Amino acid sequence: MARRRACPALAMAAWLGFPAAGWAAEAPAHPVRVVSMNLCADELVLRLADREQVAAVTALADDPRGSTVAREATGLTVTRGLSEEIVALRPDLVVAGAFTTRTTVGLLKRIGFPLLELGVPNDFDGVRAQIRTVAAALGQDARGAAMVAAFDARLAEVVAAGKPLRALVMRPNAFTVAPGSLGDAILRAAGLVNVAAELGRDRFGQVPLEAAAFAEADLLILDEGEPGHPSLADALLHHPVFDALRRRGRTVSIPNRLWTCPGPQVADVVARLAAAARGRNAP
Amino acid sequence: MNARFPPRDRIERRVVGILGLLVLVLTLASVAVGYAPFDIPAAAGDLLAGRATLPALVLWELRLPRALLGGLVGFSLGLTGAAMQGYLRNPLADPGILGLSSAAALGAVLVFYGGFAASFSLALPLGGIAGAALAALALNLVAARGGTTLGLILAGVALSSLAGALTALALNLSPNPYAALEIVFWLMGSLADRSMNHVWLCLPLMAAGWALMLSTGRALDALTLGEDTAASLGFHLVSVRLRLVTGAALAVGSGVAVSGAIGFVGLVVPHLVRPLVGARPGAGLWPSGLAGAALVLAADLGVRLLATRPELKLGVVTALVGAPFLIVLLLRQRGRGA
């Protein structure tokens, strides 16, 4: 069965002019046609690689609402992660997310493309490891080390809140930051207590509005950037209950794009949260 | 043309009384059930005393709107179903099946995602009403051309699919990444996390729609004898049609704009009350409305009490309850050789 499945893949690789077997081993030290298939991969690849190394990024990368590398991504070829798009680009390194575009990744694996799959780290060590892994795959170890060093330096500057404040993160559709996730680690690093741990959440991390209202959070963490195109998910964060919570307690606005992905920008989120918490403590 | 409320016979009055009581009990139950336990009587006390405490806020902005909208939307759907079944003399007529609800959802979607509702909040129910009105007019044209029962239903099914497809298209074209996922809300309906603003937005328009539809009770009774007879009894048929179409559009359109399209209520409820009040359409209007309110309130209690998270959409529950019931009802009618 496996052989039968491999045959079309081999035929395809041959047709494309690739030596199918052992292709990964022959890849040069510096890949020169890197294709990224995940927004979080885009962010690291665009920061660590030379621009000439990048063959394509995702269609999400140049949207300033969701991406932290929108400026760097302008003008680059974009894909939506479809197999045909990726194969046609003839990449010598594909960087994919462990949970996105699974069909394409499966095909690329069968054909034997050099592939790097990025997991979702849930602590700062995981972030450092992921930066180093991507940098090594790109042949840019020095940049990776520098990025990790800058990340640690930024974290070291952070003065955590004196008193552990209770924080509630609210994202569109009343999603929160689950305990044990990277977001939770960010809150802890800023000296905050994630009240989501006490709340009833569904298995996707959605908090009922009633539970959010009674959470007694000292700090409400929202993305209050410029309102984009309307959606019910965003409208929910302007429910009168949230408006009342905003008036009662302290709100800090952190753009969601800064902590969607593990990367050096995570240290900025820690710094902003800690500053907001200290501001709350001061009076 | 005299169609004031106190219903003529005692049975109908008793049915209305019992159903009204049921709706009241379910509304209170809906206020009592939620995701975070708190002292409701104390919160109500705070609310009445004007103290802005957190429990009072949750009661006023989450629990009450959810219960009230359940009753309001359910009443609209039940009443519209009864009025349409009476007027079209078609036991399968229902705002969901005939495409009124999906067209209302399309209107609301265009207004909301187009950004009009942000600057002018009344635009949301008005969008829903415009969609429902267009669908109702289109159906009237089909009915006026003397189509069969089946023809009308098929026209409704086509309208419903078209509106559903256009809704999906509009949501997919929206640049907001969340929009495409929200089609489930618009096509299946939900009362989760609505606010008092939604109640104020739809209540006046809905009430106007109810008044228009309820005013046609006597005319609907006369219409069971045929249009000529009804006309000879002094009923102005154009006026009856106008009141029904406008009333259905107002009630269903404003309801769907705040709750999404909840199916089956208008179809099942008139069949449920008919054995109680008899086949006279006029006598079934109030009971159908109240039974619709009870059904939606009960379904909305169900989605909160069932252990599925995220909670089920309301349309799922009304279809689960409504569809088998209707099948049984139809089989029994056929068994009787009716």
Question: DSSP string spanning B123-147?
Answer: HHHHHHHHHHHHHHHHHHHHHHTT-
The reply to whether residue A241 touches residue B61, judged by beta carbons under 8 angstroms, is yes
Domains of chain B: 23-335 (1.10.3470.10)
Distances (CA, A) of A30 to A99, B191, B293: 26, 55, 68
Provide Rg for chain B, Cα atoms: 20
Contact B150, B135 (CB under 8 A): no
Spell out, as residue ranges, where chain B has pLDDT lower than 50: 1-7, 337-338
Residue of chain B with shortest Cα separation from A209: B193
Given A210, A229, A232, which is nearest B175 (Cβ)?
A229
Given A202, A210, A231, which is nearest B36 (Cβ)?
A210
Question: d(Cα A105, Cα A101) in Å, to the nearest integer?
Answer: 6
Distances (CA, A) of A138 to A22, A115, B303: 19, 12, 50
Q: What is the largest CA-CA distance in chain B?
A: 62
DSSP state of B180: G
Residue of chain B with shortest Cα separation from A208: B35
Question: d(Cα A86, Cα A90) in Å, to the nearest integer?
Answer: 7
How many C-beta atoms lie closer than 10 Å to residue B168's C-beta?
A: 16
Average pLDDT across chain A, whole number: 86
Contacts of A178 in chain B (CB under 8 A): none
**What tokens appear for A175 in the block?**
């999603």
Question: Which pLDDT belongs to residue A202?
Answer: 63
Given A173, A174, A213, which is nearest B178 (Cβ)?
A173
Q: For residue A46, give the nearest of A273, A278, A267, A261 by alpha carbon.
A: A261
Question: d(Cα B25, Cα B297) in Å, to the nearest integer?
Answer: 10
**Sequence letter at residue B246:** T
pLDDT of B83-126, one tens digit each?
Answer: 999 998 888 888 988 999 999 999 999 999 998 888 888 999 99
Per-residue burial over A170-194, b if 16 or more Cβ lie within 10 Å, else e, is bbbbbbbbbbebbbbbbbbbbbbbb
pLDDT of A142-172, one tens digit each?
Answer: 999 999 999 999 999 998 877 889 999 999 8
Question: Which pLDDT belongs to residue A74?
Answer: 93
Share of chain A above pLDDT 90, in %: 58
Q: How confident is the model at residue A282 (pLDDT cuts 50, 70, 90)?
A: very low
Contact B170, B110 (CB under 8 A): yes
The reply to whether residue A239 touches residue B38, judged by beta carbons under 8 angstroms, is no
The reply to whether residue A213 touches residue B36, judged by beta carbons under 8 angstroms, is yes
Question: d(Cα B157, Cα B202) in Å, to the nearest integer?
Answer: 26
**Sequence letter at residue A274:** A
Question: Which pLDDT belongs to residue B3?
Answer: 47
Q: Is the dihedral of CA A217, A221, A224, A230 positive or negative?
A: negative
Domain with CATH 3.40.50.1980 in chain A: 2-153, 160-281
**What tokens appear for B98 in the block?**
């005939």
Asked if A78 reaches chain B (Cβ–Cβ under 8 Å), the answer is no
Question: Which pLDDT belongs to residue A283?
Answer: 40
Domain A2-153 has CATH 3.40.50.1980: yes
Tell me the fold of A160-281: Rossmann fold (3.40.50)
Question: d(Cα A272, Cα A166) in Å, to the nearest integer?
Answer: 16
Question: Which pLDDT belongs to residue A63?
Answer: 87
Asked if A168 reaches chain B (Cβ–Cβ under 8 Å), the answer is no
Rounded to an integer, the average pLDDT of A92-118 is 93
How many C-beta atoms lie closer than 10 Å to residue B333's C-beta?
A: 12
How many C-beta atoms lie closer than 10 Å to residue B297's C-beta?
A: 29
Distance from CA of A63 to the nearest CA of B (A): 11
Contacts of A262 (CB under 8 A, 6+ apart): A40, A120, A121, A126, A127, A130, A182
Question: d(Cα A136, Cα A30) in Å, to the nearest integer?
Answer: 9
DSSP state of B9: S
Question: d(Cα B227, Cα B246) in Å, to the nearest integer?
Answer: 20
Distance from CA of B285 to the nearest CA of A (A): 34
Instruction: Report the first-to-last Cα separation within chain A, whole angstroms.
Output: 70
Q: Is the pLDDT of residue A16 over 60?
A: no
The reply to whether residue B178 touches residue A174, judged by beta carbons under 8 angstroms, is no
Question: d(Cα B199, Cα B255) in Å, to the nearest integer?
Answer: 9
Q: How confident is the model at residue A263 (pLDDT cuts 50, 70, 90)?
A: very high
Question: Which pLDDT belongs to residue A20?
Answer: 42
DSSP state of A120: -
> Virtual CA dihedral for A127, A131, A133, A137, nearest 10 degrees?
160
How many CB pairs below 8 A link A and B? 81
Q: Considering only residues 227 to 246 of chain A, which have any Cβ-Cβ distance to chain B shorter than 8 Å? A: 227-234, 236, 239-241, 244
Distance from CA of A256 to the nearest CA of B (A): 13
Question: Which pLDDT belongs to residue A18?
Answer: 47
Q: How confident is the model at residue A280 (pLDDT cuts 50, 70, 90)?
A: low
Question: d(Cα B288, Cα B58) in Å, to the nearest integer?
Answer: 31
Interface test with B, best of A229, A243, A247, A260 (most B CBs within 10 A): A229
Q: Which residues on adjacent β-strands are paired with residue A220?
A: A168, A251
β-sheet with A54-58: strand ranges across = A78-79, A54-58, A34-36, A93-97, A115-118
Contacts of A236 in chain B (CB under 8 A): 193
